[in-house]
Amino acid sequence: MGVEFLKGHGTENDFVVLPDPDGLLDLTESRVRALCDRRRGLGADGVLRVVRPDFGPWFMDYRNADGSIAEMCGNGVRVFARYLVEADLVPLGPFAVGTRAGQREVVAHDDGTVTVDMGRALVTGASTALLHGVEFAGVAVDVGNPHLACVTTTPVSALDLRDQPGYDREVFPHGVNVEFVNVLDDGALLMRVHERGIGETRSCGTGTVAAVASWLHGTGRHTGKATVDVPGGQVSVVIDEESSTLSGPAVLLARGELDQAWWDAL
Ligand SMILES: N[C@@H](CCC[C@H](N)C(=O)O)C(=O)O
């Protein structure tokens, strides 16, 4: 009997889901890297290990494709919630999910979308990203994990995000996810992202919340809402004084078993 897995995505930010209710899997960095590798593994931006703690809600143990641990993943938590519902571990509707950034309240809808209470999107100051010699002004936003969200008039479609953008390591000692954002009109944003521990992805849920917080901040507002178009689809974000919500699709597309000998050799 091999290791059970599922594959899913939220706006094409894709994940390998590893059900591990009793916490028995030894999820090493090299196993995460191999699983996420698009040639020698299943291929994904990250891994979501599904753990049932002794107390409290189901816990999302999130890992980036390079094996690093991150505090929070907004697209991941939607896919995680979809898995819990499809596996009959929780009913459709509202329930909580544990993350390293704290407990998150989610609502799984019957149309396949999930709404997540993402907590407070905290703007902590100004900073800049450097991309191929060009500086982009942005703001640092804490959404449980660190973001540098740069609203710019440079068309984001023209940017080359293959390399890690430069950033101030004193402001972001643990690395940062960097978003580039165009304002399409009042209430619609276009975003591309370079994620910490991964590279460019087709969507980043926490990044979209940071993008909306940055846009609102730049227009002198603390609250508001926007749809955010990303290469992999569209999500909706609402920001209140004390909280924020993210809504969007969550898809499970495959399930199977990892070869035990392949797993053991890693
Ligand atoms: N794609 C995720 C964020 C995943 C973690 C991030 N790369 C980090 O290291 O903080 C999302 O949808 O929020």
Look at residue 67 and tell me whether its pLDDT is greater than 90: yes
Look at residue 1 and tell me whether its pLDDT is greater than 80: no
99 lines ligand 1 (CB under 6 A): no
CA proximity to 156, closest of 181, 136, 183: 181
pLDDT in tens, 131-153: 999 999 999 999 999 999 999 99
195 lines ligand 1 (CB under 6 A): yes
CA proximity to 165, closest of 184, 179, 153: 179
pLDDT at 136: 98
Q: Which atom of ligand 1 is nearest to the CA of 143?
A: 13
Asked if the domains at 3-117+250-265 and 122-242 fall in one CATH topology, the answer is yes
Instruction: Find the 48 Cα to ligand 1 centroid distance in Å.
Output: 11
The CATH homologous superfamily of the domain defined by 122-242:
Diaminopimelate Epimerase; Chain A, domain 1 (3.10.310.10)
CATH for 3-117+250-265 (3.10.310.10, 3.10.150.10, 3.30.559.10, 3.40.1160.10): 3.10.310.10
Protein residue whose Cα sits closest to atom 2 of ligand 1: 73
179 lines ligand 1 (CB under 6 A): no
For the chain, domain boundaries: 3-117+250-265, 122-242
Task: Output the average pLDDT for the chain.
Answer: 97
Whether 73 sits among the annotated catalytic residues: the reply is yes
Model confidence at 120, in pLDDT bands (50, 70, 90)?
Answer: very high
Percentage with pLDDT > 70 across the chain: 100
Look at residue 186 and tell me whether its pLDDT is greater than 90: no
pLDDT at 228: 98
d(CA 95, CA 104): 9
pTM of the prediction? 0.98
Instruction: Find the 182 Cα to ligand 1 centroid distance in Å.
Output: 20
Instruction: Find the 258 Cα to ligand 1 centroid distance in Å.
Output: 25
- Higher-scoring residue by pLDDT: 235, 1: 235
Whether 204 sits among the annotated catalytic residues: the reply is yes
User: Which of 47, 73, 116, 156 is the catalytic position?
Assistant: 73
196 lines ligand 1 (CB under 6 A): yes
Mutate to test the pocket of ligand 1, among 99, 164, 204, 235 (most ligand atoms within 8 A of CB): 204
177 lines ligand 1 (CB under 6 A): yes
pLDDT in tens, 75-92: 999 999 999 999 999 999
pLDDT in tens, 215-256: 999 999 999 999 999 999 999 999 999 999 999 999 999 999
205 lines ligand 1 (CB under 6 A): yes
Model confidence at 116, in pLDDT bands (50, 70, 90)?
Answer: very high
Instruction: Find the 208 Cα to ligand 1 centroid distance in Å.
Output: 10
Q: What number is the ipTM of this complex?
A: 0.99
